[in-house]
Amino acid sequence: MKNKLTPKKIVEELDKYIISQDEAKKNVAISLRNRYRRKAIENSDMRREITPKNIILIGSTGVGKTEIARRLAKLADAPFIKVEATKYTEVGYVGKDVESMIKDLLGITIRKLKSDKVEELKEKYREGVIEKVAKLIKPYDTVNLDVKKELVEDILAGKYDDYEVEVEKSPKGDLPFVEVVSAGNAPEEGVQGIIDNIVSSFPGRGKSKSILMNVVDAIDYLLNEEVEKNIDMEAIIPEAIRTTEQDGIIFIDEIDKIAEREGGGRSEVSRQGVQRDILPIVEGTTVMTKYGAVKTDHILFIAAGAFTLSSPSDLMPELQGRFPVKVRLKNLEEEDFIKILTQVEYNLLEQYKSLLKVDNVDISFTKGAIERIAEVSMDLNENVENIGARRLATVVETVLKEIMYEAPYEKLQVIKIGKREVDNIYKEETEEENLDNYIL
């Protein structure tokens, strides 16, 4: 995380994508900044003692809880995973155990670091691979650098894209791809060993062959081959573990669903069991994975829930204590919906404009249409089910359905959506009859 990412700057970035919810944005910004502050402390003992101040976001669906966490992780370029508390079961029961969230987070981190390393290596070896392909097009003397230079320039300009060259394919390329996915926490090594023995017995194992492919595919194939030979997974895995431990963010959604409620039955026992299992993960423990041990002490946990039938105080006291920051998000109003449609970067209306532009449709929305879309969304939330800002997508999709169905066009079609067009679709007399159509 960069030094310039101050809490105020973080909130400014979040403001581009999330309307309202200032208190929530301020709290997550402070939590993110505290990570940088902790890392900057020179005293290692002090640094080790400072743990993240985990957050519970309280609010109904569609008010921005998930989006805040997701954007925060993207802003910090941190490993991020969203999990649902209801998907986990108490240890000893069939289902997902809570430690799998740490394993999944590590898996995401490994894939991210590997992807970054692959891009770095591709950049490093691209020039050499292009020169190799140039030699396949027209073998040149190493002394004659002008011929090589001209060929390379022509390849980069796309002049040889469809030209076919003969590439020697490694034996590895002839074998079927076999991926082993273990069930639960079962070790994969034994199964993988069996697979390796089977693969080694394939006919033609160890023999290379030449195949024809166009220049674009040849560059791509040789580049991937070069990357595969030079990527060091043994160096990536320790780095991934460190990154997961120091920068990981886990968003636990629907935490209210595992809170104990008054007058609860047998299901309350299961909920309490999941809480007991989550507690050490949030508190700080070591989780064993197939890549090594992962300490959870400095992973940031952001929990969220509507808490309509319960409250955070219904969670186990020990678990409550591990989420010291509690923020209640406000329900969105019509004015917020208008801002979401007009002020958010890459907002919903801009997305549909870009989609329809592909099919020769230039679409625009009047101020009246936008206000009416917001008004209809509010009405449906109040009279059907409150799904917050997600309702906007339902309404806009309905308004544009016929236009999207009729496209594409040969000639550019300029279409302006006004309040009247929205009213024609959402007539008052039919709105009540067809409410079921808008329930997600």
pLDDT tens readout for residues 261-312: 655 554 555 788 889 999 999 999 999 999 999 999 999 999 999 998 888 9
Please state, in angstroms and rounded to a whole number, the distance separating the CA atoms of residues 2 and 13: 14
For the chain, what percent of residues have pLDDT higher than 70?
83
At residue 179, does pLDDT exceed 80?
A: no
Domains of the chain, residue spans: 7-100+243-328, 109-238, 334-428
pLDDT of residue 182: 41
Confidence of residue 339 (pLDDT cuts 50, 70, 90): very high
How does DSSP assign 115-164, residue by residue? Answer: HHHHHHHHHHHHHHHHHHHHHHHS---TT-HHHHHHHHHHHHTTTTTT-E
- What pTM was computed for the model? 0.79
- The CATH code belonging to domain 7-100+243-328 is 3.40.50.300
Specify the CATH number for 334-428; select among 3.30.390.30, 1.10.8.60, 3.40.50.620, 3.40.50.300: 1.10.8.60
Least confident of 37-41, 148-152, 369-373, 419-423: 148-152
CB 391 within 8 A of CB 377: yes
Same fold for the domain at 7-100+243-328 and the one at 334-428? Answer: no
* DSSP 8-class letter at 426: S
* Nearest Cα residue to 302 out of 327, 277, 285: 327
Please state, in angstroms and rounded to a whole number, the distance separating the CA atoms of residues 18 and 64: 7
| CA angle, 414 then 417 then 420, to 5° | 135
For the chain, what percent of residues have pLDDT higher than 90?
60
pLDDT single digits (tens) 351-402? 999 999 999 999 999 999 999 999 999 999 998 888 999 999 999 999 999 9
| pLDDT (mean) for 149-175 | 81
